[in-house]
Structure 1
Amino acid sequence: MSAASWESLRNAAGPVSRETFDRLVAFEEMFQKWNRSINLVAQSTAGDVWERHILDSAQLWRIEDKARRWVDIGSGGGFPGLVLAFLLAGRDGASIDLVESNRKKAGFLQAVVGQFGLPARVVARRIDESQALVVASEIVTARALAPLSTLLELAGPWLTSGARGLFHKGRDYRAEVQESVNRWSFDLVEHPSMTDPGGVILELSNVRPV
């Protein structure tokens, strides 16, 4: 990978060491090998994993780089959860739980965690079965998982206990927000996506059922 790729990572995430960049490059190579056999992401985006998935995930670090306890629900191929685990590495006491019920995808997540010694734990359970196993989270993340109203249901036990949500959303996010306010109250900050001109990162806090 070129110096331009390192610069693109720093533009998305903020200051990132060369070591972290090199580890993410190695992760991308590992990802591509696994993706050929178990379809971790749609084939239409597999040719641009760096921009479409790694940088898109890394931009959460620019929004929140202080929290130490994270949970990523529906982790799938590891976006954003594994990318955040690479960024969390080296920070004392920091970790992320990766919740993924698909056995093959959970196996991939565990393989990456083991290969790189990441500060992450794979919880191979359904999201609604994992809530008692993942406690005291400060940030909940999800990407390409479900409409916002469903995300609030799934992440509700963490969000209503004080965690904030950072959720990737596409250009139709306003309709999802409008649908959600009928059942939930929350404070909302919209962060324009650095990788998708029509997308946003929705930051939700003080979440409560109506």
Structure 2
Amino acid sequence: MQESLALDVIGLRVSRETLGRLQLFAELFRKWSRTINLIAASTQNDMWTRHIADSAQIFALSPEPKRWVDLGSGGGFPGVITAILLAETGAGWVHLVESNHKKASFLRVALSETGARGSVHACRIEEAHQQIQHCDAISARALAMLDLLFDFAAPWAERNPDLRCFFHKGRDYQSEVDKAHGGWSFDLLQHQSAIEADSVILEIAHLARKL
């Protein structure tokens, strides 16, 4: 089965119920994609590996139930995938931040119909910290340069010194890391992507703006 094989690539085993939730999400995604541009059309045929399994890598790195903020959730990657995987644990929550109201509507339907553990905040990322007071972890995928992501994450980092951030990055990630060091102090773990040879997931801890 394509779906199970895609998850096997990242070493993630899920229950039949969770796999069913992911399959339902994929069906909803294809349906809504006919009228809303959720991802590049050229990548839809490889959605299970390119998007679902790729997104699930974040949960595989940090599977303990926690309060997540997913920035720029778009078509639900990785936020909805994390929320679906959390449903099996019965704990944790994902706050999905998406300013585009059509995409936010899709995200709400996806969460509701799959029984995922999440909610949608249809607001600008810069305003989200006013609605979401606390979180344990932040995720973002294909959203912005690293130093801008740090700007977005800063309000939560100031409230929680144990905050962790998980950011998908492509082959040029090192130049972004070097630039970010100019204005920020942080601890960094680089996790090689099991999906894209040139990609990584950057795990950030102890984020603080340099004075």
| TM score, norm. by length of structure 2 | 0.94
Aligned twin of 2:206: 206
One-letter amino acid of the structure 1 residue matched with residue 20 of structure 2:
D
Aligned twin of 1:126: 124
Consecutive unaligned residues of structure 1, counting only runs of 5 or more, are none
One-letter amino acid of the structure 1 residue matched with residue 175 of structure 2:
A
What is the aligned counterpart of 1:88 among 65, 73, 86? 86
Q: For 1:178-193, list aligned pairs within 5 A.
A: 178-193=178-193
Q: Deviations over 1:144-194 (max 9, x none)?
A: 100101100111111333311000000000000000000000000000001
Kept in 2: contact 1:13–1:60 (CA 8 A) = no
Alpha-carbon distance in 2 for matches of 1:118, 1:22: 12
Q: For 1:107-126, list aligned pairs within 5 A.
A: 107-126=105-124
Consecutive unaligned residues of structure 2, counting only runs of 5 or more, are none
Q: Deviations over 1:25-71 (max 9, x none)?
A: 12111101101110100112122111111010001122100141111
One-letter amino acid of the structure 2 residue matched with residue 132 of structure 1:
Q
Kept in 1: contact 2:192–2:201 (CA 8 A) = yes
Kept in 2: contact 1:76–1:105 (CA 8 A) = yes
Kept in 2: contact 1:149–1:176 (CA 8 A) = yes
Alpha-carbon distance in 2 for matches of 1:45, 1:90: 28
3-state SS, counterpart of residue 197 of structure 1: coil
Aligned twin of 1:27: 25
| TM score, norm. by length of structure 1 | 0.95
Alpha-carbon distance in 2 for matches of 1:104, 1:50: 23
Measured after TM superposition, the shift of residue 115 of structure 1 is 1.1
Kept in 2: contact 1:187–1:206 (CA 8 A) = yes
The total of aligned residue pairs comes to: 208
Q: For 1:8-87, list aligned pairs within 5 A.
A: 8-12=6-10, 14-87=12-85
Q: Percent identity?
A: 44
Alpha-carbon distance in 2 for matches of 1:183, 1:175: 14
Q: For 1:128-147, list aligned pairs within 5 A.
A: 128-147=126-145
One-letter amino acid of the structure 2 residue matched with residue 174 of structure 1:
Q
Measured after TM superposition, the shift of residue 13 of structure 1 is 5.2
Alpha-carbon distance in 1 for matches of 2:131, 2:3: 37
How big is the alpha-carbon RMSD for the aligned residues of Structure 1 and Structure 2?
1.3
Kept in 2: contact 1:185–1:209 (CA 8 A) = yes
3-state SS, counterpart of residue 4 of structure 2: helix
Alpha-carbon distance in 2 for matches of 1:130, 1:13: 33
